[in-house]
Amino acid sequence: MLKHVRPQWAVLSLGTVAALALTGCASNKEGGGGPTGTVTGTVTQNTSLADLLPANIKAAGKLLIGVNVPYTPNEYKDSSGKIVGFDVDLLDATAKVLGLTTSYKESDFDKIIPAIETGTYDIGMSSFTDNKTREKTVDFVNYFSAGVMWASQTGKTIDPDNACGLKVSVQATTTEDTDEIPAKSAACVKAHKKPITKLKFVRQDDATNALVLGRVDAMSADSPVTAYAIKVSNGKIQQAGKIFDSAPYGWPIKKQSTLVQAMQKALQQLMDNGTYDQICTKWGVQSGEIKTATVNGAVS
């Protein structure tokens, strides 16, 4: 389902989906499109929260952040090579509340948490699912709720819980590919119904294109990925059913660091003043918004 099972070589260029009506195919550029909204509020420093920062971070005036790209729309490189995305905007704004700048360092996904433990990075930002296993080594500030979301062509009603006999596109090696669709299809067969025909693609944007072009009936992907694809599709695809199997995204931070409380309170300030909602809406991921910034909110 979520980022921790995402293949590291996958490149998601969902922003190109909007061009399909004219071209019939997608570009392979990593950045593809971009946000279609703006953030109008001004983020200001809260000096009382800055006092919670560890002395070394406060003295440095910046956060060192380990990140793995691409994972559009959360974190990826634009055409200039700059790391951008929903996660970037939100973490930049949270750091600004604390009077900090941000410095993003690319890393293999599975090396980020160990590097936080050793102090190489202050924080991780890579659509981490907060789970009980990870909480044994780091603390998480939870900022989003992500699950599985289906999409269908606009105007066509698809029920993810009643998909027997349908063609469904997925990205290869994701949980949607390895667990969700096989389990649903097996249930169909057990009920003496037609199985689900799964079409898997190396690239998520190809799975999305298959839906836009009508080669499949539906697509299953992580909720922010599907939501962003819908946002940039020029009305060609829509959400099908509700988000399910949700779990929190979190920023991993060294255990018992006061940075945890500083980031939590700064994020809550953005939630309370509307900036958080504007950032989510800018990237089309508002379906995963939460109202309270929590710490270690793993559900499993």
Q: How many CB atoms lie within 10 A of CB 222?
A: 29
Determine the Cα–Cα distance for residues 286 and 2; give it in Å rounded to an integer.
17
- The tens-digit pLDDT sequence of the chain (300 residues) is 454 444 433 333 444 444 443 333 333 334 446 776 677 778 999 999 999 999 999 999 999 999 998 888 999 999 999 999 999 999 999 999 999 999 999 999 889 999 999 999 999 999 998 999 999 999 999 999 999 999 999 999 999 999 999 999 998 878 799 899 999 999 999 999 999 999 999 888 899 999 999 999 999 999 999 999 999 999 999 999 999 999 999 999 999 999 999 999 999 999 999 999 999 999 989 989 999 999 999 989
Determine the Cα–Cα distance for residues 282 and 266; give it in Å rounded to an integer.
20
Under DSSP, the state recorded for 136 is G
3-state secondary structure (DSSP) of residue 211: helix
Q: How many CB atoms lie within 10 A of CB 297?
A: 18
Q: What is the pLDDT of residue 2?
A: 53
Q: What is the pLDDT of residue 71?
A: 83
- Contact predicate 260/94, CB 8 Å: no
Determine the Cα–Cα distance for residues 219 and 75; give it in Å rounded to an integer.
21
Residue 133 neighbours by CB under 8 Å, 6+ apart = none
The CA-atom distances, in angstroms, between 135 and each of 43, 125, 224, 260 are 30, 15, 23, 13
Q: What is the pLDDT of residue 1?
A: 42
Q: Facing residues of 30 across strands? A: none
